[in-house]
Chains A and B, each alone.
Chain A
Amino acid sequence: MKIILHKNLMSLLQNQGMLIVLLLLGLFLSFATLADQVPNDAEAGTVLVKTWPMNKVPNPVVIVVIRDLDEDLLFANAVVKQSLVLDGIVVEIVRGNPSDARSCLEKLANQGIKLDAIVCNHYTAGWSVFDRLNEKFPALGNPIIIEPASYRWPNFLKRDNLVNIMNQIAVIAILAVGMTFVILTGGIDLSVGALIAFSSVLVARLIRDYGGGVEAQVPALILCCITTIIVCAMMGAFSGIMVACFSIPSFITTLAMMLIAGGTAYLISEGQSIDRIPEQFMWLGRGTTFFRIPIAVVLTGSIYLLAHLAMTQTIFGRYVYAVGGNCEAARLSGVSVVTVLILVYTLSGAFAGLGGIIMASQLKSGAPTYGHMYELYVIAAVVVGGTSLAGGEGKITGTLVGALILAVIQNGMNLLGFDSNTQKCILGALLLLAILLDKLKGRIAR
């Protein structure tokens, strides 16, 4: 029994080691960022009214006091809406600073209105105006101050933060899919970072010059995006042809392609950022879909699902593993090694093109500085995900975990308030640690 348990634990560690690291990181950050949360949104307003102690009072009379901020207004509106449902009467919404609240209270006192409650949020509840109310304004009766209950919850685990993590990593994660294919065949693609810059300025330029600028319509936008992806795919294919047909090492080929793509990006954009882009274009990078999940995250998820199926359930996946595992044996088995190699570099280029478009959409402009050093983060994500640089070993799901680990580490350091240079050092150290763990795990298994 004990042995079986031990065995299962070992195989779990072996197969899902990085997933466990990801979960542990999440757990650590959850504790490290535990903080008092003061809800101040529409949902907080609704819940507040539903649970307030006024339910025994028929037609309670309340005022709502908020700061002059948009987010506070959402809260106040929700309170008003919900009190109507429950037959409450909101006589006034006070929006502003403590003196506004004071004058409102004075006005109500003069009119002789009896208040049952004053609804505040966490910030307004602390105003000194509301101290010793029954002494200052006895005419108001004995109103109570109500604010949404605060609770302890990690900043890391807040919904917005989690969505943010995935949104931030979307571009790198998408590129990492193509990179996984390339690395699985035993190669490497250094050009993806430069291709991001190239793709972002190309799509921006196409929209500005041919799509109609800020008035561009959706079909034109789609056409521009598709053209950009095709051009990037062709640049990838070119690298692939160099690697497959002329046996030039992929490191050199894609290094050259990185310079070419990076230089062309500056030429196309004339060194400037191009931002004459319509609002609709931002749908891809900033838009959300069901449950307020960003489009980019949904897109990344679908790409991973498809890539996972391609690697495990199709002939393409088998051939990629075969070429990476033993290129010559694959050739002698009748696998068209040249086709497989060209295809993986083409896909890597296409994913880089898509990544550049998403980035242009997120930042509402295209600039030749985008994607700087991204190839290294992408390679890091793939390697942390357990793919061997020698080729032939690795999984798409591993790469997803690797990308998430990078994102979580970066996000965590932001939450904990490290500056960006410290972040780089820590990221480097953690990368080494992750790979070291992976190696040690392999050694234990042996």
Chain B
Amino acid sequence: MEEEIVRPIKLLKMARIVKTFPGVKALRGVNLELAKGEMLALLGENGAGKSTLIKILAGAFNQDEGEICLNGKPIKIKSPADSRNLGIAVIHQEFALVQGLSACENIFLANPLQQLFFIHKKREFKKAAEILNKLGADFNPLTLCKYLSVAQLQIVEIAKALSEKAAILVLDEPTAALTPREAERLFALLDQLKKEGMGIIYVSHRLEEVFKISDRMQVLRDGSEVVTVAKENTTQQEIIHWMVGRELPPNSFHNKCVGKKVILSAVGLEKNRKVKGVNLEILEGEILGLTGLVGSGRTEVARLLAGVDIPDRGEIRFEGEVIKMRSVRCGINKGIFLLTEDRKNLGLFLGRPVIENFSIAALFHFTFLGILNKLAELNAFYSHRKSMAIKLSDPQVRIGSLSGGNQQKVLLARWLERKGKVYLLDEPTRGVDVGAKEEIHSLLRKLAQEGNAILLISSELPEVLAISDRILVMHEGQIKGEITNVSQATQEQIMELAMQ
């Protein structure tokens, strides 16, 4: 056996944390340890308890049992303010920044530098510039946050943590909305912070990056700790196995049923300088991957194709016929559906029951003279629930209480029930755990085999490579490259096209 090394006192120690919600035991006695200058990756499927654990640390929830020690001293975190004062900075996926204030003002929002009763703006600016400079920011601290990109906002959040002298940084899915290059810069930054002695807890679904940057990994499943291992002692396959409790079939699929018929095509689409003359064709039974950096105009193209936005110039053809897209409903009536990347704001009715979220686009399937047949609606939902393995007991619960993967499946079911020809899927697996991701992929394959045309927008290159029949790469509003021989393509090849 190895010799027990006498280690210094842990920076953070959470012991036997239990948290119960009505009907769910979210955490069943989880332990977590974090040393100075260490990065711990917290892994698990959606609903495994990662978010709950983080929220306890952030002071959003109070644990039912268990204790938390900081530098060996037991502490009580009762509110988000407590957490901040103790030097714990949690950066959620949705940033806690005020859009209408500048980066500098946001950094010092909670603890302004004061002189008498007035805010010392000059000192704040100097300090903010200093921190941002250290973090390698390329923008003026006086820029309003609404003009900053996601990556820049993230830097503002980290700067806020540094200005408060945080010792522990918790990041929840920090790369979900970043381009690969921005992600690389974030990793370098985190590495630097680590060297300066900060303890970092990192939550992500992307195993590749986790293996690249973390020191140790802790896997949670169903509210319990499955394993905690050092990076050197494990493999991705092993981690996935621990996360889902079963082996996943390897990602390899190639569609033999791509037809000859063009279902949807676009010629010379232009919109607001974000889309500059895009031509594309989607064939029957084809999964067309559309990738590129965030902000390259992928989402905008999908919105134009679905009729959500009206193009300034260019035309859209459906089965050879030019269609005038005056509204979303024109597209939907033709069978062109958009699954949005922004589930919360553009997809879900968070306060409404699952069943209503499911049926909203196809209500006329269940109505006679405007009167609903709720039984038919319920039966339709049950059949989708079965075929898509949506995990939920009661269709009347609010959809907001479901995990991300299940929410996404309900949104997919919404369009499957409507039955279309073209599915424009914008980041369909974002924020979805590994198991559900695989299920969504196989669903897409099935859809393609049935002769539907699918546009798959994704930043995750392995995903694009694994299930697309053809890949288009966008850069600054234009399509810069096409990859037809997907099985031979590599991530580097795509990145080259995307970054020019």
Contact = CB atoms under 8 A, between A and B. Distances in A.
B364 interface: yes
Q: Which has the most chain B C-beta neighbours within 10 Å: A316, A329, A330, A393?
A: A329
B297 to A, nearest CB: 19
Contacts of B370: 314-316
Contacts of B308: 331-332
A100 interface: no
B350 A334 contact: no
Given A328-B346, A332-B328, A322 B372 contact: no
Q: Which has the most chain B C-beta neighbours within 10 Å: A315, A332, A392?
A: A332
B349 A322 contact: yes
A316 B372 CA distance: 10
A325 interface: yes
Contacts of B367: 314-315
Contacts of A321: 349, 352, 356
Interface string B326-368: 0011001100001010000111111110001001110110010
Contacts of B421: none
A122 interface: no
Interface string A325-345: 110111111111000000000
Contacts of A392: 349, 351-352
B360 A333 contact: yes
A332 B340 contact: yes
Nearest to B306: A332
A329 B329 contact: no
Contacts of A128: none
Nearest to B374: A313
Contacts of B418: 334
A42 to B, nearest CB: 46
Contact of B351 (A314, A325, A330, A332): A325
B116 interface: no
B372 A315 contact: yes
A314 B349 contact: no
B22 to A, nearest CB: 8
Given A314-B370, A322-B360, A328 B345 contact: yes
B364 A325 contact: no
B345 to A, nearest CB: 7
Contacts of B350: 325-326
Q: Which has the most chain A C-beta neighbours within 10 Å: B347, B352, B374?
A: B352
B84 interface: no
A114 interface: no
Nearest to A334: B332
Contacts of A313: 371-372, 374
A391 to B, nearest CB: 9
A366 to B, nearest CB: 35
Given A332-B328, A332-B338, A334-B328, A315 B349 contact: no
Nearest to B340: A332
A61 to B, nearest CB: 68
Contacts of B361: 333-334
Chain A interface main SS type? helix
A404 B312 CA distance: 54
Interface residues of B, number: 29
A314 B347 contact: no
B347 A329 contact: yes
Interface in A260-289: none
Q: How big is the A interface, by class? A: 20 to 34
Contacts of B329: 334, 336
A95 interface: no
A326 B371 contact: no
A393 to B, nearest CB: 6
Given A329-B346, A334-B328, A322 B364 contact: no
B414 interface: yes
A315 to B, nearest CB: 5
Nearest to A309: B371
Contact of B371 (A314, A329, A331, A332): A314
B360 A331 contact: no
Contacts of A322: 349, 352, 356, 360
B256 to A, nearest CB: 33
Contacts of A316: 370
A318 B347 contact: no
B352 A325 contact: yes
A316 B363 CA distance: 10
A328 B338 CA distance: 13
Given A313-B371, A314-B372, A328-B346, A335 B351 contact: no
B346 A332 contact: yes
A140 to B, nearest CB: 74
A318 B360 contact: yes
Nearest to B377: A318
B360 A335 contact: yes
A319 to B, nearest CB: 8
Given A313-B371, A318-B356, A334-B328, A329 B363 contact: no
Nearest to A392: B351
A393 B398 CA distance: 12
B349 A326 contact: yes
Nearest to A393: B351
A316 B371 CA distance: 9
A329 B349 contact: yes
Contacts of B347: 329, 332
Interface string A65-89: 0000000000000000000000000
Contact of B348 (A318, A329, A334, A336): A329
A136 B448 CA distance: 111
Contacts of B364: 315
Interface string A305-316: 000000001111
A322 B348 CA distance: 9
Contact of A315 (B340, B346, B363): B363
B56 to A, nearest CB: 16
Q: Top 7 A-B pairs ranked by shortest CB distance?
A: A325-B349, A334-B332, A333-B361, A333-B360, A314-B370, A326-B349, A315-B370
27 contacts: A313-B372, A314-B370, A314-B371, A314-B372, A315-B364, A315-B371, A318-B356, A318-B359, A318-B363, A321-B352, A322-B360, A325-B352, A326-B348, A329-B346, A330-B360, A332-B308, A332-B328, A332-B338, A332-B347, A333-B360, A333-B361, A333-B414, A334-B328, A334-B333, A392-B351, A392-B352, A393-B351
Interface of B: 306, 308, 328-329, 332-333, 338, 340, 345-352, 356, 359-361, 363-364, 367, 370-372, 374, 414, 418
Interface of A: 313-316, 318-319, 321-322, 325-326, 328-336, 392-393
Given A314-B372, A392-B351, 12 more contacts: A313-B371, A313-B372, A315-B370, A318-B356, A318-B363, A322-B356, A325-B350, A332-B328, A333-B360, A334-B328, A334-B329, A334-B418
